[in-house]
Structure 1
Amino acid sequence: MIKIYHNPRCSKSREGLQLLQESGKDFQIVKYLDIPMKKEEIKKVLELLEISAEELVRKNEKVWKENYKGKELSEDEIISAMQEHPKLIERPIVVKDKKAVIGRPPEKIKDLI
């Protein structure tokens, strides 16, 4: 099953969702701002993306700039920040089987599906 971590207010996320809809494949939408991801789920996504927690952070978000920017943070502290402030998570993320991509640009999703 394909899963998209989606923010309806984000244009790139909407584009990614449209690609999935056009593919005709079954998928699940996870509105991670409404139901924040648990730490273990974030860790699993990072593992599938093969990136560090910091690479998944939207560093231009106000909450990052005000609370975390310039600080020495451990991987676990960054994951906790993303769990507490889901807006910090880059989007959209599409997961299929044992692979995942950040849909920026959205065409990356086509390679996965």
Structure 2
Amino acid sequence: MTDITLYHNPRCSKSRETLKLLEENNVQPTIRLYLETPPNREEIHEVLKKLGIGARELIRKTEQEYKDNNLKDTNLSEDQLIDALIEYPKLIQRPIAIKGERAVIGRPPESVLDLL
């Protein structure tokens, strides 16, 4: 058991590198396969608070769902962007490491070392 949770996508090289880096530092995080078990609204709010960012900053802008749903529209509200993250969890930046009241996006993977 560890006190770090990793929002992980095993198909993502940055996510795999982040997990490997944590393991090399003797940290076995709790893995959250967020594509299989997407976060709900409350969880997304908590992650955003811990990251200190807004929903737009959590969105992967290169995904097809971003383009298909016109998420670049600057008139969309925070709640509308969160709705998109709930409906399309693939849009969530990855990986995200969470420890207590802090979180970091593992881009680059070394940023997770700030939580150790």
Asked whether the two chains share a fold, i.e. TM above 0.5, the reply is: yes
Write out the 4+ residue segments of structure 1 that deviate beyond 4 Å after TM superposition. none
Partner of 2:37: 35
Between Structure 1 and Structure 2, how many residues are aligned?
A: 113
Aligned identity (percent) is 53
Q: C-alpha distance in 1, partners of 2:22/2:96?
A: 12
CA-to-partner distance for each residue in 1:26-51, whole Å, 9 max, x for gaps?
Answer: 42000000011111001000000000
Shift of 1:23: 1.5
Shift of 1:21: 1.2
Partner of 1:62: 64
Q: Does 1:102 align with 2:105?
A: yes
Partner of 2:78: 75
What's the C-alpha RMSD, in Å, of the aligned pairs? 0.9
CA-to-partner distance for each residue in 1:44-94, whole Å, 9 max, x for gaps?
Answer: 000000000000000110011111234221101111100100000000000
Task: Report SS of the residue matched to 1:29.
Answer: strand
TM-score by length of 1: 0.96
Partner of 1:91: 94
Partner of 2:14: 12
Q: Name the stretch that deviates more: 21-30 or 94-103.
A: 21-30
Q: C-alpha distance in 2, partners of 1:29/1:70?
A: 30
Q: C-alpha distance in 2, partners of 1:70/1:58?
A: 11
Gaps of 5+ in 2: none
TM-score by length of 2: 0.93
